[in-house]
């Protein structure tokens, strides 16, 4: 589903990604862990087509990111650090707006359903400028999946969420997985990574330094591997 070969990203004479090779199959849920500044968000931004790689090849669903980025955009959902929501719009207005951008059918019904799914039906018509950070994050997640993407790119999705909202988000991710969605999630939250992901990738200094499957939701295994590989990195 996602094929990355020899990906290099350089900016301001700094090598941010130093030759990333990665292959992710359809339906996998993959966590990207790594210390601050390792290049995790940059990797996600390249896949979301927000920034161009310096060199290397990226294919999503068999399509070359350089040549078919418009088609790829339609099948990719991206949750960045910022919510991308319009402050003065309600959740319903925001989701209808973004749903229309993607040209989805029955946009209002889908929007109402998604707001319900993230537990904010009561606030359907309130402007999001009055929302707490966690509430905004919930609607931002709904925005990222309004077009039922085949590939979901999540940059620290659990940040700012309370326990209830974490459970809702994990449920959303697992439900999408059942439908065949491939998810790539940057996170510092090992517990959530172990809870919902099948596979962990550790990025350090712009390179993948480990890539393994998780067995039995084993958080200790993930923590130990991480510490071993990132020792000495502040
Ligand atoms: N446009 C840019 N120009 C120059 N340097 C950049 C640019 N974008 C990112 N960087 C640098 O590249 C490095 C990797 O950034 P990135 O945001 O990908 O890290 P990260 O692994 O997501 O970190 P964090 O865990 O702190 O979010 C950082 O040192 C960052 O300052």
Beta bridge partners of 23: 3
What's the CA gap between 38 and 202, in Å, rounded? 9
Q: What is the reported pLDDT for 119?
A: 92
The whole-number pLDDT of residue 232 equals 59
Query: Which residue's CA is minimally distant from atom 4 of ligand 1?
Result: 11
In a domain, 156, yes or no: yes
Domain coverage including residue 39: 27-52+71-189
Q: What is the pLDDT of residue 216?
A: 78
**Which pLDDT score, from 0 to 100, does residue 173 have?**
93
Question: Which residues, judged by CB distance below 6 Å to any ligand atom, belong to the binding site of ligand 1?
Answer: 11-12, 14, 16, 34, 36-42
Instruction: Report the separation in Å between the CA atom of 216 and the middle of ligand 1, taken as the mean of its atom positions.
Output: 32
Task: Report the CATH number at residue 32.
Answer: 3.40.50.300
**Domain assignment of residue 220, yes or no:** no
Residues 140, 82: Cα–Cα separation, whole Å: 9
> 216-222 long-range CB contacts below 8 Å, 24 or more apart?
218/194, 219/190, 219/191, 219/194, 221/194, 222/33, 222/190, 222/193, 222/194
In a domain, 223, yes or no: no
Which of 147, 130, 141, 168 has its CA nearest to residue 96?
147
Going by the DSSP 8-state scheme, the letter that residue 39 receives in this structure is S
Residue 228 counted as domain residue: no
Domain for residue 169, yes or no? yes
* Total tally of structural domains belonging to the chain: 1
Residue 1 lies in a domain: no
Could you identify the atom of ligand 1 that is nearest to the CA of residue 188? 25
Give residue 225's pLDDT: 81
Tell me: the pLDDT tens digits for 39-90?
Answer: 999 999 999 999 999 999 999 999 999 999 889 999 999 999 888 999 999 9
Positions in the chain whose pLDDT score sits under 50: 234
Residue 114 lies in a domain: yes
Q: How far apart are CA 204 and CA 223, in angstroms?
A: 15
ipTM of the complex: 0.96
What does pLDDT average to over the chain?
92
- Taking residue 8's Cβ as centre, other Cβ atoms within 10 Å add up to 15
Is 119 domain-assigned?
Answer: yes
Q: Ligand 1 atom 17: the closest Cα is on which residue?
A: 41
Q: How far is the CA of 38 from the centre of ligand 1 (A)?
A: 7
- Name which of 145, 177, 164, 173 is nearest 75 in CA terms: 145
């Amino acid at each position: 589903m996602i094929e990355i070969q020899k990906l290099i990203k350089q900016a301001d004479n700094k090598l941010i990604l130093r030759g990333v090779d990665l292959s992710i199959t359809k339906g996998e849920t993959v966590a990207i862990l790594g210390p601050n500044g390792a290049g995790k968000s940059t990797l996600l931004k390249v896949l979301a087509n927000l920034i161009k790689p310096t060199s290397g090849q990226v294919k999503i669903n068999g399509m070359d990111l350089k040549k078919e980025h418009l088609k790829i955009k339609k099948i990719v959902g991206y949750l960045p650090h910022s919510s991308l929501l319009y402050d003065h719009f309600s959740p319903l207005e925001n989701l209808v707006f973004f749903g229309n951008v993607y040209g989805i059918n029955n946009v209002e019904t889908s929007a109402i359903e998604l707001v319900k799914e993230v537990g904010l039906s009561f606030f359907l018509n309130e402007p999001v400028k009055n929302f707490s950070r966690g509430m905004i994050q919930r609607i931002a997640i709904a925005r990222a999946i309004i077009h039922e993407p085949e590939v979901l790119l999540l940059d620290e999705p659990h940040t700012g969420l309370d326990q209830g909202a974490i459970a809702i988000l994990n449920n959303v991710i697992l439900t999408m997985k059942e439908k065949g969605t491939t998810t790539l999630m940057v996170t510092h939250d090992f517990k959530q990574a172990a809870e919902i992901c099948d596979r962990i990738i550790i990025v350090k200094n712009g390179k993948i330094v480990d890539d393994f499957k998780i067995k039995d939701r084993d958080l200790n295994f993930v923590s130990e591997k991480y510490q071993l590989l990132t020792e000495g990195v502040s």
